[in-house]
Chains A and B, each alone.
Chain A
Amino acid sequence: MLQGIYDFIKGIFEPLGDYLIGSLVPVGSSFAGDIDSLIALVAVFVGFWGLLAYIMFFFLIFRYRRKEGVRAQYVTGEEKNLKRWISWPHAAIIACDLVIVFMAVMVWYNVKQRLPEPDATVRIVAQQWAWNFVHPGPDGVLDTDDDIDSFNELHVQDGLTYQYELVSKDVIHDFSVPVWRLKQDAIPGRIMKGWFQPTKTGSFDIQCAEMCGIGHGIMGARVVIETPEEHAAWMSNGGSKLASVVER
């Protein structure tokens, strides 16, 4: 039921989300569309009220500008017929807030609060100031002989569901992949788990999103999302970079 309502509302705002965010950053994961639609929904709701407030604001400034011989009215704002102008919007904003909360929580639940059954697991090790990735290799399992390590370059296969284990060796970093709309802090001493499912091939930026020292600004990496064939080829090459993919 809830999911049905969610999907319905999401459907309404999806095109706008595509336009607002999708036009700047490709929609690259299964939940990127959800987040974009949520942003669009918030934009419409607060945009409506913001616009209304602006219209009122400029109208009043214009209408009640100083004129010779016209005195201001004496109103306290406690008159019933005037208070309406405040209390009705008040109620309407609560209603808007409820919708926003509902949508936000649904998106949040999907992205952060559940861990779907993964097809593969990757380990992401952040350190000052680089990213190390441990890919599970052909067997899809971490900590086996065929694991593939790489440095500042993450390789994943389009369409698979991945679980990640995010750790940090020193300070707090943040694994941030804009095309996936994904962000998660890495805390030293903890293993942060989460998931993503890429839906678009290509190679994109990874940034560090938490100040982590002098080199924070250069702590970038690339994620390479490959078709199954490309990915298999990459793995059989033992993880060496595929020139064609990197160039893209």
Chain B
Amino acid sequence: MAEAGTATIESQDAHVVSHGHDEHHHEQSFWSKYIFSVDHKVIAMQYMFTGIVMALIGGYMSYVFRMQLAYPGESVPGYGAVSQGEYNAMVTNHGTIMIFWVAMPMLIAAFGNYLIPLMIGADDMVFPRINRLSYQIFLVSAVILLVSLFVPGGGFGGAWTAYPPLSANAEYNLTPLGAQLWIVAVALEFVAFLLGGINFITTLMNSRAPGMKMYDIPMVLWMIVIASVLFMASVGPLIAGAVMLFMDQSIGTGFFDPNRGGDPILWQHLFWFFGHPEVYVVLLPAMGIVADVMCTFARKKLFNYKLILFTVFATGIISFFVWAHHQFVAGIDPRMANVFTVTTLIISIPIAEMLFLYIATLYGGSIQLTTPMLWALAFIAEFLIGGVTGIFLGASGADIYFHDTYFVLAHFHYTFFPIAIIGFFCGLTYWFPKMFGKMMNETLGKIHFWGTVIPFNCIFIPLFILGAAGQNRRIYNFQNYPDLAGLQDLRIFATTALLVMLAFQAVFLINFVVSLIKGKPAGKNPWKSNTLEWTTQSPPPHGNWPEGLPNCYRGPYEYSVPGREEDYWPQNVPPDTAPAE
């Protein structure tokens, strides 16, 4: 892959090249331009806005069940009284939505679709129509999931991990339709991302600008594509598992039914064999976004690019050997726990190294605390807590106590929130000028930043304490437990912090809309960045570079190169000429 990087093979049908752009100058209808478009930028926006809508739904659910936890039994403003079944369905679908319909579409699909062609200097994805199909399947899956909440019997409430026999048998879960639609939606979502992933991988492998070698690829693309590979390599067994679960539910097979020779633990293996790589599937794109943002605003080269890449590969490979740390006390052979403790702790090494390399990138920089940079730094600071608390859980002996307590919950919100919310805002505020051609308001951006990050810590630090006090997950009312009832103040505190955080999202909304209308024009390269997407207009037109696709001459992070007047050196500028603009 490396050596061939410079080669461009002229297409067999040469007319394609010459007609590439002018074909599209004629007016397109609204439908073909925004709804059924095959343009990667439009598809990216579709993914992003669907993701934001789903994030609001998932956030609304967290509001409802956090209110129930803080004020059990009272009617929640904007929802009403929460029954036990509703509580379970809400938690389950909150988790499912946030991971599969928020984190994945926003980080992988939205940024992947937007950035891959632009950053490698191509005019589109290699398979634009498969790309569109992928979004359409994704949209259908989202609709099915939302419908499943309103069918008779109510939404599925068996946790996002959907352990059978509960999930397999309507007699147990009492939500026959909800459970079936849930698994169908999840399976369709997987198919959508398999299709999308094929596009990401082949595009990055094959369509790079002439001259762009392996180590000239911006880190964010590496990470998105490695994430896609991890996803493709791990999701297969769970797709098979989903088929089996669906048949258990609907035609009465007994794959997971112990009374008929099935094995409920099998599902857990299939689920977590996917589930653990999945957490890195969402982690990596966020790390990538942060890498690019940090380099731009520290005016620094990434600290040891190759070593970072190596730690990413190591993380990816090891992630396939740690899954059973979710099942320490689930009835697997207790000797296995020792093996998985070792592998789990091994994975802390590349990730620690990756984080240290990121921190080292700041060394010697000229750090500008713009809004995107604040988000990037917050990502590191918050994810560090999420990461180190994972070590408590990975130590098998300690997990006997922590398993399925709020400690686990706080652990993974300290990883997921930085990824899905902080990472997303980091990328959005950074590429907003490119996407919409306008600058965002810095003051509002910073208010929103602090108004999100501080309440976030106030929500989840109390949950660590509750977890350490032995409070288990997915329980709708702790007043039934004498030993836990007394900790109500902490729950109320967390819920209050959530309300504050939700209120501050309005600032973002205002900033977003106002900047779209009245923001300062951004120009081509407002941040003085090196990567190729900043060499075209903002927003880029269809075909991305009407004047011809760029070539690439150097790595993405050549900031502050000694002897040059400007402190940046765009990838497309031929050697020994002054940077344009």
- The reply on A151 being an interface residue by CB < 8 A is no
Q: Are B355 and A108 in contact (CB under 8 A)?
A: no
Cβ distance A11 to chain B, nearest Cβ, rounded Å: 16
Q: How far is the CA of A128 from the CA of B161 in the complex (A)?
A: 18
Q: Can you list 18 A-B pairs, Cβ within 8 angstroms, ordered by A?
A: A35-B400, A39-B402, A46-B392, A57-B380, A61-B367, A64-B362, A65-B369, A74-B559, A77-B302, A89-B352, A106-B397, A176-B404, A181-B401, A185-B329, A189-B259, A215-B84, A216-B88, A216-B475
Q: List 10 additional contacts besides A53-B355, A66-B369, A74-B562; criterion CB under 8 Å.
A: A60-B362, A61-B377, A66-B368, A85-B356, A101-B395, A105-B338, A112-B400, A171-B172, A210-B163, A213-B166
Q: B567, A71: Cβ atoms under 8 Å? A: yes
Contact A49 B352 (CB under 8 A): yes
Query: Given that A214-B85, A214-B174 are known contacts, is A185 also in contact with B331, CB under 8 Å in the complex?
Result: yes
Min CB gap B561→A, angstroms: 6
Residues of B within 8 A of A185 (CB): 329-331
Known: A112-B400, A172-B264, A214-B88. A50 touches B384 (CB 8 A): yes
Q: Verify B159–A72 contact, CB threshold 8 A.
A: no
Name the CB-closest residue of A to B89.
A214
Q: Name which of A156-164, A200-208, A230-238 contacts chain B.
A: A200-208
B363 at the interface (CB under 8 A from A): yes
Given A76-B301, A188-B264, CB of A35 within 8 Å of CB of B369 = no
Q: Within 8 Å CB of B402, what residues of A?
A: 39
Nearest residue (CB) in B for A184 is: B329
| Docked-complex contact B366 and A70, CB < 8 angstroms | yes
Q: 7 tightest A-B contacts by CB? A: A178-B470, A107-B397, A189-B258, A77-B304, A73-B364, A77-B303, A104-B395
How many residues of chain B get a CB closer than 8 Å to chain A's CBs?
99
Mask, B390-428, CB within 8 Å of A = 1, is 011011111011111100000000000000000000000
Q: What separation, in Å, do the CA atoms of A229 and B398 have in the docked complex?
A: 34
Which chain A residues (16-34) contact chain B, with CB distance < 8 Å?
20-21, 24-25, 34
- For A171, list chain B residues within 8 Å (CB): 163, 165-166, 169, 172
User: Would you call B483 and A204 a contact (CB within 8 A)?
Assistant: yes
A24 interface neighbour in B345, B346, B465, Cβ under 8 Å: B465
Contacts of A190 in B (CB 8 A): 258, 331
Q: Mark A168-192, 1 if CB is under 8 A from B, else 0.
A: 0011101010110111110111101
Bound-state CA distance A220–B484 (Å) is 11
Q: Give the distance in Å from the alpha carbon of A94 to the alpha carbon of B353 in the complex.
A: 11
- The answer on a CB contact under 8 Å between B356 and A86 is yes
Does the CB pair B349–A207 fall under 8 Å? no
Of all chain B residues, the one with the shortest Cβ separation from A176 is: B472
Residues 98-140 of chain A, each 1 if its beta carbon lies under 8 Å from chain B, else 0: 0011011111110111000000000000001000000000000
Closest-CB distance, A231 to chain B (whole angstroms): 21
* Contact assessment for B258 and A77 in the assembled complex, using a CB-CB cutoff below 8 Å: no
CA distance A21 to B402 in the complex (A): 11
Q: Is there an interface contact between B342 and A72, defined as CB atoms closer than 8 Å?
A: no
Distance from B311 Cβ to chain A, minimum over Cβ atoms (Å): 10
Task: Note all chain B residues with C-beta closer than 8 A to A39.
Answer: 392, 398, 401-402
A248 to chain B, nearest CB (A): 10
**Which residue on chain A has the smallest CB distance to residue B86?**
A214
Is B480 touching A220 in the complex (CB atoms < 8 A)? yes
A residues at B contact (CB < 8 Å): 20-21, 24-25, 34-35, 38-39, 42-43, 45-47, 49-50, 53-54, 56-57, 60-61, 64-67, 70-78, 82-83, 85-86, 89-90, 93-94, 97, 100-101, 103-109, 111-113, 128, 170-172, 174, 176, 178-179, 181-185, 187-190, 192, 204-205, 207-218, 220, 222
Verify A213–B401 contact, CB threshold 8 A: no
Q: Which of A74, A100, A101, A104 has the most CB of B within 10 A?
A: A104
Q: Are A170 and B165 in contact (CB under 8 A)?
A: yes
Nearest CB in chain B: distance from A107 CB, A: 3
- A128 & B172 in contact (Cβ 8 Å cutoff): yes
- Cβ-defined partner of B404 (8 Å) among A71, A75, A170, A210: A210
Contact B400 A111 (CB under 8 A): yes
Q: Which residues of B contact A60 (CB under 8 A)?
A: 359, 362-363, 365, 367
Contact between A76 and B304, CB atoms less than 8 A apart: yes
Q: Do A24 and B477 contact each other (CB < 8 Å), given the known contacts A42-B398, A60-B359, A64-B365?
A: no
Instruction: Across the interface, name the chain B residue whose C-beta is closest to A91.
Output: B349
A76 to B373, CA, bound (A): 20
Q: Is the CB of B388 within 8 A of A64?
A: no
State which residues 325-359 of B face A: CB under 8 Å.
328-331, 334-335, 337-338, 341-342, 345-346, 348-349, 352-353, 355-357, 359
The smallest beta-carbon distance between A151 and chain B, in angstroms, is 16
Assess A108 versus B337: contact at CB under 8 Å? Given A93-B349, A215-B84.
yes
Determine how close the nearest CB of chain B comes to the CB of A61; give it in whole angstroms. 6
B49 CB-CB contact with A under 8 Å? no
Q: Give Cα A73 to B299, complex, Å.
A: 9
CB distance from B146 to the nearest CB of A (A): 21
CA–CA, A34 to B484, complex, Å? Answer: 23
Flag if B403 contacts A74 (CB, 8 Å).
Answer: no
The residue that B474 contacts in the complex, of A20, A82, A111, A216, with Cβ under 8 A, is A216
Please measure, in the bound complex, the distance between the C-alpha atom of A183 and the C-alpha atom of B477, giving whole angstroms: 20
A111 near B397 (CB under 8 angstroms)?
Answer: yes
Q: Known contacts A108-B400, A182-B400, A214-B174; is A101 also within 8 Å of B341 by CB?
A: yes
The chain B residue sitting closest to A87, CB to CB, is B353
Distance in angstroms from B101 CB to nearest chain A CB is 20
Q: Is B468 at the interface (CB under 8 A from chain A)? A: yes
Chain A residue nearest to B469 in the complex (CB): A24
Task: Assess A64 versus B352: contact at CB under 8 Å? Given A108-B396, A183-B404.
Answer: no
Known: A73-B560, A86-B353, A100-B395. A213 touches B173 (CB 8 A): yes
* B31 interfacial contact with A, CB 8 Å: no
Question: How close is A169's CB to chain B, nearest CB, in angstroms?
Answer: 11
A185 to B404, CA, bound (A): 11
Taking the nearest CB of chain A, how far is it from the CB of B424, in angstroms?
Answer: 22
Q: Given contacts A64-B364, A85-B360, are A72 and B475 in contact (CB under 8 A)?
A: no
Cβ-defined contact, B381 with A207, below 8 A:
no
**Contacts A60-B362, A64-B362; is A74 near B400 (CB within 8 Å)?**
no
**Bound-state Cα–Cα, A112 to B369, Å:** 50
Among B341, B405, B483, B561, the one with the most A-chain Cβ atoms within 10 Å of its Cβ is: B483
Interface residue from A21, A47, A78 paired with B468 (Cβ < 8 Å): A21
Q: Which residue of B lies closest to A180 (CB)?
A: B401
Q: Write the nearest CB–CB distance from A170 to chain B, whole angstroms.
A: 6
**Can you list, as one digit per residue, whether each of B458-475 has a CB less than 8 Å from chain A (1) or not (0)?**
000000010011101111
